Structure 1
């Protein structure tokens, strides 16, 4: 799904030669740095760097990777991704099981005034509280955020910042592909998105990686209007690849009022369960299929 050679090629093509101290004239037709220039600036032989980009060199040292990261101008997320890709042949990460511990489901049930979900590395929603179901306007079992953004909602749907969301999703999936290269479900999802979305194909070809841990996330809800929320991603120790996502509103804000109004409405699957579930207490859980949803 992702490899060291391809990542090096895309990063090399984006380096400004002038910024790297390379003289540039009008005859230069190469986008970014040449292979020999990367080799020279990072202190490795041209032959060795060529073999890296061809996938023929194995186990580059930490020092070589750090030098390449410096020359290619990688940020911290990209640097970690580079090291992870280089380790793939030595140590393959085990694909985590799709499961939700009852204790985690109980924690979600305690969050009553903010949408909260458990999401795995494929962006499958493993579990969510009632307000999360109301936000998405559908039962959470079977929801995959990447598929929802690229194939279901597109530009005119739930996500007020749709273009930014697509960048975050592709960057996340690139990181996941580097961490779990042997996951057939992730490979299947990426293939489905590439077949169904031109924007996904374009963004995937850029090989950008992103690690979003917090930030603004706006939704355009059909019943309560614009929701300006703050997203926090909490990594869960012992739950490989799984994060808890909580979407909160600023106190005493119009969005906080809108969430309270939303909580009084009936969830998509509330009718059959209304006699059995408390408003803030029901948790939807799912073990997603291998294809990523």
Structure 2
């Protein structure tokens, strides 16, 4: 079930991950009955009262000022992405889900279909796969329209075997899902996905309650493909404007590299 206090849950989760040494406090300051920092310690570092901080964690106060949020962000050692998420949690309002924009998604389908040597797929805000181009389907067979990309990564053994750093990739993917799920606490499909992954994925159960947050990024993934062997693929995750938090995820190769040649060999019809 979705939590009725997403802001408080997030504050508590991040507080429990910090050790006194992380914020220059002595480890031996009394017996610690709970993991991480005490509420009073976070409040003192943030410059607010313990009573007010307790209200935030318990959901009795859900709309702190930006100044308070920034102080808490510094106290909890949040990075820029996590700080933005903290502010967004404090501004959640109950509102109907916006419909997708079919023209925008359809244009994106045309776009990715025109990329013969770039593997790409369109994702909705839950990371359900809305469309793939032929190369993405050949590169990673598990990524098929209608499936959830995070679930595929976590549960499909063949997809897991492709990725050299599956642990790092799975951690980032769970954190990215967390960054979206927390902002749509009433979305039934998201809650269904979380329930499914909590039941079936050890990795998801291990990391979900850490409340790690990840933004859309770019970088490099190393793969061992069963047909063409080692690949060093650049990736990018791009928001799709005008399409209800849809995005395009793509893999591409640096020109003139062995990976470019290997990726070209996977192009259907070649």
TM-score normalised per structure 1: 0.83
Q: Where in structure 2 are there 5+ consecutive unaligned residues?
A: none
- The match for 2:227 is 223
Q: Report matched runs for 1:4-83 at 5 Å.
A: 4-25=7-28, 27-29=30-32, 30-83=34-87
Shift >4 Å, 4+ stretches = none
- Alpha-carbon distance in 2 for matches of 1:174, 1:95: 20
2:200 matches 1:181: no
Superposition deviation, residue 97 in structure 1: 3.3
Aligned residues: 265
- Alpha-carbon distance in 1 for matches of 2:76, 2:14: 6
**Contact 1:230 1:247 (C-alpha < 8 Å) held by counterparts:** yes
- Alignment partner of 1:245: what SS? strand
- Alpha-carbon distance in 2 for matches of 1:23, 1:141: 52
- Alpha-carbon distance in 2 for matches of 1:156, 1:140: 15
- The match for 1:128 is 132
Q: 1:93 to 1:63 in 2, by over 3 A?
A: farther
- The match for 1:232 is 236
TM-score normalised per structure 2: 0.89
Superposition deviation, residue 27 in structure 1: 4.2
Larger mean Cα displacement after TM superposition, 17-26 or 163-172: 17-26
- The match for 1:254 is 258
- Could you say which structure has the larger radius of gyration? 1
- Alignment partner of 2:250: what SS? strand
- Alignment partner of 1:28: what SS? coil
Greater RCO structure (CA 8 Å; 6+ sep): 1
Superposition deviation, residue 260 in structure 1: 1.3
- The match for 1:110 is 114
2:163 matches 1:159: yes
Q: 1:189 to 1:154 in 2, by over 3 A?
A: farther
- Alpha-carbon distance in 2 for matches of 1:38, 1:68: 8
The Cα RMSD (Å) is 2.2
**Contact 1:120 1:241 (C-alpha < 8 Å) held by counterparts:** yes
- Alpha-carbon distance in 1 for matches of 2:205, 2:98: 24
